[in-house]
Amino acid sequence: MTAVLGGRTAGQTSLALDGDDTRARLVVVGNGMAGARFVEEVLERDGGEHLRITVFGDEPHGNYNRIMLSPVLAGEADEADIVLNSHDWYADRDVDLRAGVRVERVDTVAKVVHAADGSATPYDHLVLATGSHSFIPPMTGVRTADGSLLPGVVGFRTIDETRQMLAAARTHRRAVVLGGGLLGLEAARALQAQGMVVELVHAAEWLMNAQLDAEAGAVVRRSVEELGIAVHLGALATEVVGTDRVAGIVLKDGRRLDCDLLVVAAGVRPHTDVAVRSGIEVERAVLVDDRMATDVPDVYAIGECAQHRGTVYGLVAPAWEHATVLADLLTGADPEAAYTGSRTATKLKVAGVDVAVMGVSTPERDSDEFLVISEPRRGVHLSVVVRDDRLIGATLVGDTRKVAFLTQAFDRGTPLPAERIKLLVDLSDGDAEVGVAELPGDSQVCNCNGVSKDRICGAVADGCTSLPSVMDATRAGKGCGSCKGLVRQIVEWAADGELTVEESASWYVPGIPMPKPELVTAIREHDLRSVSSVFATLARGGVEDAKSKMGLASLLKTIWGSDYVPEPDATFVNDRVHANIQRDGTFSVVPQMKGGVTTPAQLRRIADVAEKYEVPMVKVTGGQRIDLLGIRKEDLPKVWADLGMPSGYAYGKSMRTVKTCVGSDFCRFGLDDSTQLGIDIETRFQGVESPAKIKMAVVGCPRNCAEAYVKDVGVVATGKGRWEVYVGGAAGASVRKGDLLATVSTTEEVLTLIGRFIQLYRENGNWLERTYDFVPRWGLDRIKAVLLEDSEGICDALDEGIQRSIDAYTDPWARDLAEPASPGQFRTSLPLTVLPQVPVR
């Protein structure tokens, strides 16, 4: 059974309506982002007091944010995250939702809606919000004998189509996307993120040709190809190959592209079938006037199915403007309300590239001013079109820092600088706060929901001083989300910098309403040793949360050591099979090489394994180990057995590796034996669970050849047996030199101090918080006082805690070779289970 998004256990929601209800009957056909938003607007105007509302939806789901389907497909968002209005939302507001019921036709004379389930629903006011559907170009073989699409061919408009693509990505490798517009590019990037090899076919000569000029389209193409997505332009697909399932497509020039999945994102067409069958006037879409009325009395149309003054809008912002105007009219809130068209400005991220588009992309008159800044190598193309000192168009690709000012100039006609280059390049050093302060109050910040700066500031004045509370109160940032950064700046400015943090921000994991110290206390008090028992005892309503499972599993291992009770669905696949999953579904295997030291015998075994299992890549890692990439899941136990080496823990939230330099044994600059100390540290702390990964290094002199200054823990020999211990370093996206914790005189003191620091971090660090964030948050002075002076009297407890974890260590490869954790641990496919999300930090 297909899961109902935003639904009740029983699926649909239907109300038993009172036959004596004297309210006017309002029927909405379409439960998408236009139809549901219209219902919201009606209810906000107290329309429920005199309107009895019925909503029909083709899909069985509640209303969800279609803009966010791409992040769902890419694995960056959960389905639950995109629900806007659940079935319960309608029931709680006395709205009769007929989810999964298709409307066939409307008897506009008798004013009755006829649905596919045989029902006949009378109306006083009817609103068509039927949206649009994917356009499937005519291609030989694209449909089966019964008219349905060939298996493996799918559009990209609904959550069910997204689910089909995700299912295909789990079992197939090659995808072709037809269409190089916004949807096609998003689909291509998302499928690539799921591990598929993707090719993109576009009929026009440049990508996003409906929004961008040729030069900007070329910049987008270069950026897309740099991601590894092959692009075919000026290419027309004429045939779909395959019998039981798609196997490829044939282009007009005779080329064949093989694929297991064909995503058709070649544009959309308004859903006008109901209007046509009902005798309502239709051209490209349903014709409406400034009151959103059709040519039939009491019948209206909004959203993508409506054509107003010759224009059909495919964006959510105009659809929501339609909903607002019509709600004003039908509730009487504003009898003079009228829709006169939309000036569309769009900011989005396409296949990883920031893009903002508004108005025209090229000059239309000889007198138009056209300014272009193009840096193809940097992936940047900026242009503006000015007419009569007004901005009539702008295109920003790869750099959207000026989008807020340009949007206001485009929407409001604000004066433009005489030096036109200032439209695209900030020639001053003014900070962001000044820009926010100078932004006019009526400036539209959220284009999707039409939210101005004044409205955001008003919410702050009413007591909303956190970003989530302002977003809930105003809807700013709740459409595509691209304005969220500007919304945050305005909230901070309006609150005089005193931005409050939501209570949930202090929770260790989102599914348990407790900060870490309280959570640890509760776990100990209730003797909770499994993730499921924590949810059952401490979660609200006992509801399990997939996003919280990995954090809880890590915490329980830290608290209970070998007495922790593991559960298969509480850990990510990496931890279940003790290897790091790759984009193509294979795994990488990194055996332990303590301190970066190996032997000829180990190297021979690694070479033999690489040849025996046809390993695609053998790579020396930055942590001084050797990585075997491309191992199939079912081969993992055999690879471990043939290697005969312990796990290097290159996959989990734990102590990973200790990098070393040659040290005093061989290096003429070496002041002490860094190699042996590194081996001792790795031996002692191998596999110790932590809130995030821990990387260490030991160097034999301050020349820092093993980069100890930028590790979570770094140890530096300074001569005469003395060692400096550094903590909180980073060498990733941002570089941070570690803080000097102490200088000690023996290697035993080094091991003790490192153990205490790791245990302090384990007990007090937030889930996924690296030490380079933990150390500044706790404060170096406090950490020194706790670890060196025992200011809080916990050093003995820290020593005992880390020792328990050390004593509980077993090599996971050897353990699961001797006795697999579950019968299907290394099967290529398993029954679908709700698993925790992959955390990224």
Mean pLDDT by 10 residues, the chain (841 residues): 61 52 94 96 93 96 90 83 90 95 97 97 98 94 94 96 94 95 91 91 93 89 89 96 96 96 95 97 96 97 96 88 96 94 77 82 91 88 92 89 80 82 69 60 77 89 84 80 80 78 74 89 94 93 84 88 81 78 84 95 96 93 93 91 92 91 92 96 94 95 93 94 95 84 96 97 90 93 95 95 90 84 56 38 36
Angle between helices 531-538 and 549-560 (to 10 degrees): 110
> Which stretches of 51-152 are assigned E, i.e. beta strand?
51-57, 63-64, 83-85, 96-99, 103-107, 112-115, 120-122, 125-128, 132-134
Q: How far apart are CA 164 and CA 264, in angstroms?
A: 13
Backbone angles phi, psi at 104, to 5 degrees: -90, -45
Q: Which of 830, 831, 677 is nearest to 754 (CA)?
A: 677
What confidence score (pLDDT) does residue 7 get? Answer: 67
Known binding residues for [4Fe-4S] cluster:
661, 667, 701, 705
Mark residue 497 as left, alpha or beta (left: phi above 0; alpha: psi -120 to 50; beta: remaining): left
Pairing of strands 153-154, 286-288: unpaired
**pTM for this predicted structure:** 0.58
pLDDT of residue 837: 41
Q: How many CB atoms lie within 10 A of CB 801?
A: 21
Two tokens, residue 378: 């940097």
Backbone phi, then psi, for 731, in 5-degree steps? -135, 30
CB within 8 Å of 652: residues ≥ 6 apart: 574, 575, 689, 693
> Tokens in use for 70?
């791409």
What are the binding residues? 661, 667, 701, 705
> DSSP readout, 564-591?
----GGGS-HHHHHTSEE-TTS-EEE-B
Using the CB atoms, write b or e for 214-249: b if 16+ within 10 Å: ebbbbbbbbbbeeeebebbbebebeebbbeeebbbb
Per-residue confidence (pLDDT) for residue 260, from 0 to 100? 95
Name the residue with tokens 């033999």: 608
C-alpha gyration radius of the chain: 30
Provide the annotated binding site for siroheme.
705
Q: What is the C-alpha separation between 481 and 468, in angstroms, rounded? A: 12
In the chain, what are the domains?
24-132+270-331 (3.50.50.60), 153-266 (3.50.50.60), 343-427 (3.30.390.30), 429-501 (1.10.10.1100), 506-558 (no CATH), 572-652+814-841 (3.30.70), 653-809 (3.30.413.10)
